Structures are given as C-alpha cells and as structure tokens.
Structure 1
Amino acid sequence: MFIESTNGKEKYYQINNAVHNFLYLLQHVEVPLPTPSKDEVLIKLEAASLNPFDWKVQKGMLWPLLPCKFPYIPGTDIAGEVIEVGKSVRKFKPGDKVVALVSPFSGGGLAEFAVAKESITASRPSEASASESAGLPVAGLTAHQAITKTIGIKLDGSGERKNVLITAASGGVGHYAIQLAKLGNTHVTATCGARNIELVKSLGADEVIDYKTPDGAALKSPSGKKYDAVIHCAVGFPWSTFEPNLTLNGKVVDITPSSASMLTFALKKLTFSKKQLVPLFLLPKREDLQYLIDLVKEGKLKTVLDSKYPLTKAEDAWAKSIDGHATGKIIIEF
C-alpha cells in the first residue's frame, strides 16, 4: 500500500459488508479524492487517532445506525493541513494547520485525505503537533463535556470544591479528564492498572487506586472521601458499586452507556433519586475543540501517546485498540 496520492486517488482503509450482514471486513483500497461540500474543508492528513467507537462500528455493535452505507471509511479524529475549502467556508484557507472531527455518519478519518465540516474544525498552532492534536476530538471533547457541562466544574478554578472519581484514568478519555478536572477546584481520585499509577499521579490525580485491588473493585477512596461526581470510563461496574461511594447528590457520568445504564438512568429519574446516573452522548462544538487546543498551546493539557503506527500498519493499531489496554491515545501517522 502506497502512502503517496497518485493520479487524484488516495489509499485508505474501509469497512466492507461481507456475506453475513453483521460481518464487516477491514480492507485497504484506493479511491478518488473526496470533494468538500460548500461548508466543508478538505484536509491532507498528518495524523489520526483511534477510538473504541471505530472498532465497535466494524464489529456491528452500532448496527443498524452505523455504518450508514458501504463501503464505510472509519475514523473520526484527524489533524493535518487544509488543501481546499468549500465556497461557504470563511474561517480557513488552504495551508492552514487544523484538527477536526469527521462525522461518524459519513466516515473518512482513516485515509490520506478527508473532509470535515468547518463547524467542527479548529486551528492548530505550531506548539501543538499533529499527533498530539489528533487525540483530542472524541476523547478530549468527551472529557470536557463530562466535566464542564454534566458535572458543572468551572475550569478557571472557581466554584464549589468537588471530589471526583475517574475510572480507567490512564485511557483516552480518562487521562484528559484528570488534567481538565484539576484545572477546576477538585480533588481527583483515579483508578488504573498498577503499571500506570505513577503516570496518572503525574497528570495530577490526588489519589490513585489499582483497579485490581479490593478497594479498586469497590471504588473506595483511600482517604474515605465520598464522590460528588464520577466520570466512568471503564465498563462492568453495577450501580450498587457506585451508590455507597456517592455523596447525597452524587452523579455518575457514564461515557459508554449500555442498556443497563440507560435503565438505571430511567429508574433514578422516575424515583426522583438525588443520586443520578447520567449517560453521556457527545455533542461536539468547534469552540470547545479550540479551547482544548489552546490549552495544549499553553502547556496546560497534553496527550499521552500510547503508540504510533504508519498508515501501512493500521491493522496493528486497530488490534491494539481492540485489546483495550492502551495508555492514552493510539496514533496513526501519515
């Protein structure tokens, strides 16, 4: 597979529908360059990052919502250089360095070239590398939305002090959540594997629990604190584990809501419980993405890079993401 674009075509990875409706094969092929619509920019990619969402699409876990049609190019998080703009685009011009979120409904991020809406594309300063920036769109915006919108933490440090628990804190969303939460007036307890304890502490966590220990399994704070909020980035914890660890008005923000968590959400609402489970569905905004990029420029936020792969080794990156033990973000470079 060649990385260079030739004769107006590009190499990219796509998901094809196999004989069985629920078997989606990941292949790399050559296709024409995409054309931006009036409100889109065409970006030559320098880096992209993977999210669990991507392989969940491949495995048919989001069917029938996604894929919308075949072939489907996975990937949403991209960073690169604008090479063409639609006629209605005003904020960007060819040559601009940007980071963007590709619509999951159209797909296209795991390619040499991709189109993105101007409304979810942000300027990338020289201080923010393509690889570091590419980790931000889904994971960074999810952490930002959970902390600022759902929990209500003010990142200028004002506001009432809160005790926050972040599960799977060394992962993609978790490692951003620690850093953002510490910009606010918070005490952060975090869970992770033993090998990542020092890393999580270095990101700002006040207390770190090995999730394999009894206290980790019970989500108990070493200092005995109750949590005003939990940013739940892990899977497999029932509501009964969270409830005794919450303050009277404690809130659990589930970033990967399941049918069980949706049922708990509904039951808590119906019974007017003060303790709530809130499923989070990302509502990306360009101003929030620009805010995160600006934090990177100022040295207040960083992307922990688990590993980097060339596009020719995208299958290896894909397998690493499915394995579920990445520390920070998995990056594909072009």
Structure 2
Amino acid sequence: MASGGGRPATMRAVQYSGYGGGSASLKKAGDLAEYVAASESITVACPDKVSAVDAAGLPIAGLTALQALMSIGTKFDGTGSGANILITAASRGIGTYAVQLAKLGNHHVTGTCGARNLELVGSLGADEALDHKTPEGAALKNSSGKKYDCIINTTDAGRWSVFKQMLSSQGRVVDIAPNLGNFVASVLTLFSRKKLYMVMLSLGKEELKFLLELVKEGKLKTVVDSRHPFEAAAEAWEQSMSGHAIGKVIMEM
C-alpha cells in the first residue's frame, strides 16, 4: 500500500493480481511494481497495528466485498435486521471478506466452497457451508430449505438459471463476476421481481479506512493462501489463477 504525502512508498507486501499488484489505483499501476504513484485521494496510511500482509488484500478483494454488501443496504453498526444471504466461492479472496463482513451486518450467511474448506468458511462466521460439488450444494440448497433474500456471486461459474430457483419472491443477485449469461439476465430482469445486477469496484478512501479499522480492531482478517518472494512471481500467479487458492495470494518484496 502507498502512504500519503505525495510520495510513493515501498510496497512491503502486495496482493498479486492482474489489476496492478494490489495498488490502490486500477488505471496506472503496473503488476508487481516495487513503487507505485497513486493519488492521495484514494490512498490511506496503514495503521501501525495492521501488518502489510493483512492490508494487502483490502484494496481489491476487501473493497469489492464491502461494496457488494453495501449495495443491499447492509449496516455494520449492529443496528441492521439482517437478511438470509448466500455467498458463492466463500473460501476465496473476495468470499472470505464477504462472509466476515456479512456477519458484522447481522445477516444469516450460507457460503459455498469445496469440501476441504467447509471448516474454514464456518470459522469465518458462516451459519452454514455447502460443498458445491454435492447435489445440494450445486443447487445452492441450505438445510432449512429457506430461499435467499440475496445471493452475492463471486465466481464466473454462477448461473442465473440456478440462482433464480433459490431466491425469495423479491430476491436479488449481486454479481461481481458476471459471465455473458448473467449479463443478459441483468438486462432481462430489470422489471422483474427477482433481479440480477452487477457491482463494479469503485475506489473509496473512506471505505478503505473503514476496512483497516476493522482489521485493527480484530473484527476482520485477511485469509492468506500463500506468501511468495518476488523471485517466485510466476508461481504466485499460477496459484492465484488456479481457482484453488484459499483467501489471498501475497507477494513479498
């Protein structure tokens, strides 16, 4: 992460991604740049009590999860009544943040993941975790049989044809990884009771401050799949793109 004051700061740990190595700028950053110049308007100083590794995943995955939940009116001050929501790919980067933030918003959370990650998703606060390879998990059916008020889709494997079967009468899908079919569905459902709409990440300084404060207070954590030295950049990229990473893949410089 970069510090304020008009000067770029050394990135001690970065989120390895195609967006620019965890920089707070999506437009001008370069992958794995040791130094990144970012506008002060989108830059937040990392608190002393928050490690570079814990902070590295927040500008992309953390903000995306936060904004997806904010789009459905989630309140994080304990005053919200909560809803019955499903989070797909709950053991991956965005999903691990989304589960934790959803519970802070008093939601009842079901998360999908692979069998080996069921315990992890539960430890993050999910009320129920579904193995996506079982018939029930593939159909997104929870043990109570209740329909979801909202589905937060974080994987491009998600399909509207499956989602709509599990939505409540006025349920909605917040899609942050839309495929072509879901993009079409977002248009076709504009005037339907059940809707699918897409959320695209926008950089928010105050939102990033909020996430850092949650980490500082121990209310939010970054789940780290693996940490790699700069020399192992190719290995880190392969792990990130494999679809099997649990949480975030971190590069250290």
TM-score, normalisation: structure 2: 0.95
Partner of 1:47: 13
Among residues 253, 259, 268, which one is paired with 2:174 in the alignment?
A: 253
Question: Separation in 1 of the partners of 2:161 and 2:179?
Answer: 16
Q: Tell whether 2:64 aligns with 1:119.
A: no
Partner of 1:325: 244
Partner of 1:296: 215
The structural deviation recorded for 1:137 is 0.6
2:8 counterpart SS class: strand
**Identity fraction in percent:** 51
Partner of 2:130: 209
1:20-59 to 2 correspondences below 5 Å:
40-51=6-17, 54=18
Amino acid at match of 1:329: K
Partner of 1:188: 109
Per-residue CA shift, 1:53-83, capped at 9, x if unaligned? x1xxxxxxxxxxxxxxxxxxx62414xxxxx
Amino acid at match of 2:172: K
Partner of 1:135: 57
Question: Separation in 2 of the partners of 1:194 and 1:41?
Answer: 45
* Contact 1:48 1:109 survives alignment (8 Å): no
Question: Separation in 2 of the partners of 1:215 and 1:331?
Answer: 33
Amino acid at match of 2:108: H
Question: Separation in 2 of the partners of 1:201 and 1:112?
Answer: 36
* Contact 1:189 1:205 survives alignment (8 Å): yes
Partner of 1:77: 22
What is the CA RMSD across the aligned residues, in angstroms? 1.7
Structure number with greater Rg is 1
Amino acid at match of 1:139: A
Amino acid at match of 1:50: Y
2:10 counterpart SS class: strand
The structural deviation recorded for 1:119 is 1.2
1:115 counterpart SS class: coil
Per-residue CA shift, 1:94-136, capped at 9, x if unaligned? xxxxxxx1x2221225121111111111121121100110011
Question: Separation in 1 of the partners of 2:182 and 2:161?
Answer: 12
1 or 2, which has the higher strand percentage? Answer: 1
Partner of 1:276: 195
* Contact 2:157 2:179 survives alignment (8 Å): no
Among residues 243, 247, 251, which one is paired with 2:164 in the alignment?
A: 243
Partner of 1:107: 29
Gaps of 5+ in 1: 1-35, 55-73, 79-100
Identify the structure with bigger relative contact order (alpha carbons < 8 Å, sequence gap 6+). Answer: 2
* Contact 1:169 1:175 survives alignment (8 Å): yes
Amino acid at match of 1:77: G
Partner of 1:145: 67
Question: Separation in 2 of the partners of 1:242 and 1:124?
Answer: 38
Per-residue CA shift, 1:249-292, capped at 9, x if unaligned? 111011112232121111111xx101110111111100000100
Structure 1 stretch displaced more, 284-293 or 218-227 = 218-227
* Contact 1:41 1:118 survives alignment (8 Å): no
Amino acid at match of 2:235: D
Structure 1 stretch displaced more, 155-164 or 245-254 = 155-164
